[in-house]
Structure 1
Amino acid sequence: MARIKSIGVSGCAPEIMGIGPVSASQKALERADLSLNDIDLIELNEAFAAQSLAVIGELGLDTDKVNIEGGAIALGHPLGASGARITGKAAQLMQKNGAENALATLCVGGGMGMATVLERV
């Protein structure tokens, strides 16, 4: 299905915890030697709508590539399992849509952010 190409982890002030995926995504993309232009689909963890909009705006994401079958607001936000849900969904969508690369991100309470770049195999 897909393999992990790179991972980025970062932290930010707890007051702006939802923005953690921005720097984590930048790190993961750099480690994968890719840019956002190389990413075919993006699965963002929607902790809440404003959080997703902030990440989309800060990274300048193409919204046609983001959560193409719905995000956590529509599908659920299982605490402790969001990373598995998002990464699994990204891998599934890569196969379904013939995507070569995907980005899956998480914001974590307290200020942590995590991003994973996947490539289809």
Structure 2
Amino acid sequence: DWAAANGKQPLAVIKGWATHSMKPEYFTMAPEVAVKKLLTKIGWGIGDVDFFELNEAFAVVSLYNNHALGLDGSNVNVRGGAVAIGHPLGASGARILVTLLHTLKQEGKTKGIASLCNGGGEATALAIEMV
């Protein structure tokens, strides 16, 4: 509403979000559960998602979550993940979301999920859809 009233066109809308917490030593697995909760919440299947940005504080995070979610990697972190392009302290979420937005726009796709572990065994997942 604000965007329309001010002559702005949104790039995307947030379709939903989900979080998950587990024991801190299992933090690498938390994104899987957050993503699955999110998909259920918004009624998307894993195949409905055009691109994923899954933070990889460590390479094992990406390897585990790709496997656990049944992803082949062809639509995950396609511009390079944190291991390749950086893991900015306190700004990973912004980096992941902006990378996902630009990937969707550049590839002419519409649906994406961004997820990251928050530390301490927690993870957040966010679904966006381009408008």
Q: Please state which band the TM-score falls in when normalised by the shorter chain.
A: over 0.9
> Which consecutive aligned stretches of 4+ in structure 1 deviate over 3 angstroms post-superposition?
none
Residue type of the partner of 1:61? L
* 1:1-121 → structure 2 map (5 Å cutoff): 1-121=11-131
Return the alpha-carbon distance in structure 1 between the equivalents of residues 49 and 72 of structure 2. Answer: 10
Measured on the aligned residues, the alpha-carbon RMSD in Å equals: 0.9
**Aligned-pair CA distance for 1:109:** 1.4
Which is greater in Rg? Answer: 2
Structure 1: runs of 5+ lacking an equivalent: none
The 1-side partners of 2:118 and 2:65 are apart by: 13
Distance 2:16 2:36 in 1: 11
Contact 2:79 2:99 survives alignment (8 Å) = no
Contact 2:16/2:128 (CA < 8 Å) preserved in 1? yes
How far has the Cα of 1:62 moved from its partner?
2.7
CA distance in 1, matches of 2:12, 2:83: 25
* Pairwise CA distance, 1:57: 0.9
Cα separation, 2, equivalents of 1:85 and 1:42: 13
**Structure 1, residues 70-100: CA drift from partner, whole Å, max 9, x if none?**
0011111011110011011101111100111
Which letter does structure 2 place at the counterpart of 1:47?
Answer: A
**Identical columns (%):** 42
Amino acid at match of 2:60: A
Aligned length: 121
Question: Could you list the per-position Cα deviations for residues 10-68 of structure 1 after superposition, in whole angstroms to 9, with x for gaps in the alignment?
Answer: 01111111111111101111121101100000101011101210111111113100001
For residues 79 and 12 of structure 1, what CA distance do their matches in structure 2 show? 22
